[in-house]
Amino acid sequence: MDLFAYGFMQRALIAAALTGLVAPAVGTYLVQRRLALMGDGLGHVAVTGIALGLLTNSSPLWTAMLVTVTGAVLIELIRERGSVNGDVALALLFYGGLAGGVLLTGIGGQSASTLQEYLFGSILTITIADIWAVMGLTAVVLAIALGLAPQLFAVSQDVEFARVAGLRVRAYNLLIAVLAAASVTVAMRTVGLLLVSALMVVPVATAQQLTRSFRATLLGAMVLGVAASVGGLVASAVASSRAQVAPGSTIVIVALLGFAVTWPIGSWLRHRRRLTSPFDDEPLDGLGGPDGPLDAAHRTVTEPHVHRHGADCGHVAVPHGDHVDYLHDGHRHAPHEAHYDEH
Amino acid sequence: MPVIDLRDAAVALGGRPVLRHVDLRVESGEFVALMGANGSGKSTLVRTLTGLRPLTSGSLALFDTPFERFHAWSRVGYVPQRASAASGVPASVWEVVASGRLTRRRLLRPLGRADRAAIARALEVVGLADKAREGIGDLSGGQQQRALIARALAGEPELFFLDEPTAGVDLPNQQALADALGVLKADGATIVLVAHELGPLAPLVDRSVVMRDGRVVHDGRPLADHEVHAPWVGDAGDPHCHPSARRQARRERHGLPVRSPLDRPERSR
């Protein structure tokens, strides 16, 4: 397709891929600490940063970075104090940031359309200088998020344990907050500030439908993030001949489609896992046993079997002590000599 | 040489004095059970010993080092009180246990062979070796508690703090816990355990420390579960010096009805 021959499209593809890589890497730690909306809160704070940049005629990228990092540190300190709930602290940021941004834009006499560029992204107008800045930030964020993964995992999993293990918990908490702020700034031009959080959270939610380990979730979310970003950008470019489609929105829609596809698979897998998890092998003291009043240990199955239960008989096999029970119409059938016992 | 040396400690939560005048010395290799009712301060005490709660007065030394200068966290293992070991993102049992190894790992170094061996051994001791690849959230409550113990074990510490490891855990899992702690004790580890009820852990305990209302009221021979709440426990250290309180305690001991100031006075015979 000749669309990709254009310089602006190539720059857009690079920016989209980098955003898709960075946002879920940081988002995984945020989701792990149950702060999934942190990215959204920081996005709102960044609005004030953008407005400040426009007002002072400096680069909005760097003023947004500065203000967002300050906001992130603030929220972490408020949370640490424990005087305000995490979600209430987030709400304070949401509204303070947005109101500050709109106020400053008004004072600066800028039209709302300039701000809009950052709220919903303007990936097709990215310059070479923007690309370099985004690349630098991506490298730093990824190096920290992957290099310090064991420490960040421990702190996000269990703060008190991490503290007694001698980790500098506050430093790591602030680090995650700053990483989140940096990736919000990276994603600002691609998906826009209002949709940043989607790219931080949705790929993680999608990945964890299929994974059972943190490592797989983190790496899976990054792959899904890149796929959604690039896929969404291409979709919007293809559609652009017929309608005005903002890439930010298609990127998020593609990410959500990914979740919609994996969710049923995930819930089927969880159902399956629950079904096949071993039955407790508790002796029925006094009740069962050969001489027990219930004789629960040996009740033979009365219904006829047209087949033998086995590895591929179609009935779910569940480990039970030293043998296997087969789930058969709500009963647990255990093979015993030539017949089946009811367990 | 005491492993823990806490002297005249006081701890306040939000300005309210919780622990007052607490002295606790634990020697190497001891298995100490901290017991008492809800709100008696036993959890606060163990959190103070790990440094999670700062002292408002008094002093704490671990391994003969004043707490302010203590950095040898690899010698300490902590099992916090948790209803669930899961967080917002799936994590495998192995990953959670491996995070306990961080006390001995340097920054930016991959896991070495010794690290992996220690993690495998920790899983072995708590009987979860075959569940290493499973998600921690898929385990039963008792198995999650055992995984948290394995996490502390992975750092190969000499001193263990366990905060209510048996709370909400069924009897077979409590037995599995007791077996794991028995292995540690046999290896010479020092163990401080907070428990509401000892259950299968009772045979392991060398010494009971009973807390009541933020003070230590008994420190000595192991007590059975039912004895902890008996009125005579801690009579010797009764902080009240009012004669009427003494009399009341004596009445309780003899099974007489407890009198309150509003009761009608007894007629003398």
- CATH classification of the domain holding A152: 1.10.3470.10
| pLDDT exceeds 60 at position A336 | yes
Q: Looking at the structure, do residues A191 and A212 belong to the same domain, yes or no?
A: yes
Neighboring chain A residues of B74 at a CB cutoff of 8 Å: 166
Quote the CA–CA distance of B88 and A235 in Å, as a whole number.
31
- Quick check: is B193 in a domain? yes
| pLDDT for the residue B35 | 93
Q: Which of B63, B89, B106 to mutate to test the interface with A (most CBs of A within 10 A)?
A: B89
- Quick check: is B27 in a domain? yes
Q: Looking at the structure, do residues A263 and A300 belong to the same domain, yes or no?
A: no
- Quick check: is B75 in a domain? yes
Mean local confidence (pLDDT), B30-51: 93
- The beta strand positions in chain B, using DSSP E, are 2-13, 16-27, 31-35, 57-62, 65-66, 76-79, 159-163, 190-194, 207-212, 215-220
Q: Looking at the structure, do residues A116 and A241 belong to the same domain, yes or no?
A: yes
Q: Looking at the structure, do residues A58 and A164 belong to the same domain, yes or no?
A: yes
User: Which of B88, B102, B151 has its CB closest to that of A31?
Assistant: B88
> Higher model confidence: residue A203 or residue A87?
A203
Domain tally, chain B? 1
Please report the ipTM that was assigned to this predicted complex: 0.84
Q: B99 and A212: CB-CB below 8 Å?
A: no
- Strand-pairing partners, residue B4, are B26, B62
Residues ≥6 apart with Cβ < 8 Å to A138:
A18, A21, A22, A186
Question: Which range of residues forms the domain containing residue A315?
Answer: 282-343
Mean pLDDT for all residues in chain A: 86
- Quick check: is B246 in a domain? no
Q: Looking at the structure, do residues A152 and A295 belong to the same domain, yes or no?
A: no
The alpha carbon of B222 is separated from its chain's Cα centroid by a whole number of angstroms, namely 15
- Quick check: is B264 in a domain? no
Query: Which of A250, A273, A296 is the endpoint of a domain?
Result: A273
Quote the CA–CA distance of A247 and B27 in Å, as a whole number.
66
- Quick check: is B258 in a domain? no
Q: Looking at the structure, do residues A227 and A97 belong to the same domain, yes or no?
A: yes
- Quick check: is B199 in a domain? yes
Q: Looking at the structure, do residues A175 and A31 belong to the same domain, yes or no?
A: yes
pLDDT digits (tens, 9 = 90+) for A106-161: 888 876 777 888 888 888 888 898 899 889 999 999 999 999 999 999 999 999 99
| pLDDT for the residue B236 | 47
- Quick check: is B144 in a domain? yes
Q: B92 and A148: CB-CB below 8 Å?
A: no
Domain tally, chain A? 2
Q: Looking at the structure, do residues A186 and A135 belong to the same domain, yes or no?
A: yes
Query: Which of A248, A273, A298 is the endpoint of a domain?
Result: A273
Query: Phi/psi class of residue A310: alpha, beta or left (left: φ > 0; alpha: ψ in -120 to 50)?
Result: beta
Question: Which range of residues forms the domain containing residue B120?
Answer: 2-230
What part of A 15-34 touches B (C-beta under 8 Å)?
A: 28, 31-34
Contact (Cβ atoms closer than 8 angstroms) between residue A301 and residue A340:
yes
Query: Which of A244, A273, A302 is the endpoint of a domain?
Result: A273
- CATH number of the domain at B212, please: 3.40.50.300
| pLDDT exceeds 50 at position A286 | no
Farthest CA pair distance, chain A: 91
Tell me which chain A residue has its CA closest to the CA of residue B104: A165
Quote the CA–CA distance of B76 and B63 in Å, as a whole number.
10
Output the CA–CA distances (angstroms, integers) from residue A285 to A263, A293, B47, B200, in the order listed.
Answer: 43, 11, 40, 19
Neighboring chain A residues of B50 at a CB cutoff of 8 Å: 164
